[in-house]
Each structure stands twice: as structure tokens, then as C-alpha cells.
Chains A and B, each alone.
Chain A
């Protein structure tokens, strides 16, 4: 069977119109929903659903914040300003000095 004939078959099949849905179909769906008492309402998503949905975005946002902080620290260091680890060293030195004083 050549490709042209196959395309002809697909084109003809695409033209087919399906029979319409039964008139009371929507009501039947509602009945089914009501007949399932344990599942009366739409499921409220679990704790992990929003995490799954937003996981990738949160990861990108976290990486962006870390990169921003690191580059700001580097820029400040290059400009002669005290870097973040200078502050940490100072704090720990003060703490140890205080301990020694005690």
C-alpha cells in the first residue's frame, strides 16, 4: 500500500462524524457521581500535589537566589567591602573571645 493511498484512507476516516451523545448523558454522569458516596466531592489534592506542580520552579528559584547571593558577595569582595565569610569569621572570633573571657 503506497503512502498516497494511506493518506486517502486517513482523510476519508477524518470525515466521519460520530453519532451524537445521548440526550441524558450529563444527567447520567451526575447520577454516577452521586452514587459514589465515598467520593462525593472532587478530591482535594494531597500535600505533595502542589509540591509536584511547583517543584521545578522552586528549584530554579532557589538556584537563582544562591547564584545572586554568591555573585553579590564576590562583587562586594572585589570592591573592598567585607565579604559574607568575613562577617562569619568576625562573629565566631567574637564568640570565642567571649568564651575565653568567661
Chain B
């Protein structure tokens, strides 16, 4: 029995305080997953709370067949997906290019792979482009490309078949490519690149 399983056993037996230890062990992983889907840190914290609360409520269903880490990761991805679906209903895709740095815009505009992109800038531009994709497409790409999961793991997380995930991944990648091209070719980007944008600080 692993340490996590032992903790879960004690919590089920009534040792509620031990849940804090379980949270401490897995919080960084949960935050990292959620941060791939949501850039606003306050919202990430809310989603992490929701994830651990859901895990607490479903603790009786944890059967130990997979490590606790995988189980909680799955709950985090589903929580993020629910969040994206709600967000999609209530918010239009307002692309905030203002948040991107000059080096990112330069990188988007140049065909040659001459400059290395800084991690934060890359994550920002990727997030902006991903926001234009349906939630499930985003979830598949994030898990495949950023979290390094294989199709089988993604299918298990999303509760769908491996073939469906494979097909969705191909389509999502094409959509993402178009979204990135649109980002790079947008009128605001053009103005900023030419230095003709009259807004302060640009």
C-alpha cells in the first residue's frame, strides 16, 4: 500500500485533517494542470479548490487501481474542462493581443525559426490561440502537447475512445495553426509591428 493509499484509508476512517497532507502533496501538480487551461491565477486557485473538494466528495470511489496522482489529475482536467465550457457560453473570444510582448509578435511574423521564444511568451500566445478552439479540442492539445500524455491516457481522462481522441487531435492542431496565423496577421498586430498604433505604451 502506497503512502497516499494509506492516507486515503485514514481519511475514510474519519481522520479529516489528514486530507490537508494529501492536498499538500498534490497541489503543485493540480495547479500546474489548471494553469494550462486558465491564465488568471485567482481563477486557477478557485478551480484547484473545486478539484480538491470534488476529490474529497468522491474519495470513496478511489479504488487504488491507479495512483492517487493520476486520479486527482483526471479530476483536475475535468474541472478545467467544465470551466472552459462555462466560459465559452458566457464569453466571446476576445483576443487580448495587448498582453503579448514585441518578441512574441516578431516570432509570429517571421517564417524562419531564427529566434528562441521565451517560455512565458509562448504560453501566453498559445493560450490566446487555444481560446479560439472548442473546449474539448483545447483539452486534447493541452494534454498531448504540454502534458505529454498519450492518446490512451487522454481518452481515459475525457471518457472517450482512443480513435476519437486521435481524430480530434489532428483537427484541433489544424484549427490551432489557423488561429495562430490569424493572431499573427490581425490588424492590431500589423499596427504594432509597423509602430503605427497610437495607443500609449505601444
With A16-B119, A21-B27, A25-B48 given, is the CB distance from A9 to B125 under 8 Å?
Answer: yes
B180 beta carbon closer than 8 Å to chain A = yes
A4 beta carbon closer than 8 Å to chain B = yes
Q: Is the CB of A8 within 8 A of B23?
A: no
Q: How large is the interface on B (under 10, 10 to 19, 20 to 34, 35 or more residues)?
A: 35 or more
Contact of B57 among A4, A18, A22, A39 (CB under 8 A): A39
Interface residues of B, dominant DSSP: helix
Q: Is the CB of A27 within 8 A of B20?
A: yes
Q: Whole-angstrom distance between the alpha carbons of A18 and B68 in the complex?
A: 21
A98 beta carbon closer than 8 Å to chain B = no
Of A42-50, A60-68, A79-87, A89-97, the stretch lying at the interface with chain B is: A42-50
Residues of A within 8 A of B (CB): 1-2, 4-6, 8-10, 12-22, 25-30, 32-34, 36, 39, 41-45, 49, 53
Residues of B within 8 A of A (CB): 11-12, 14, 16-17, 19-21, 23-24, 27-28, 31-32, 35, 41, 44-45, 48-49, 52-53, 56-61, 63, 111, 113, 116-123, 125-126, 145-146, 148, 173, 176-177, 180-181, 184
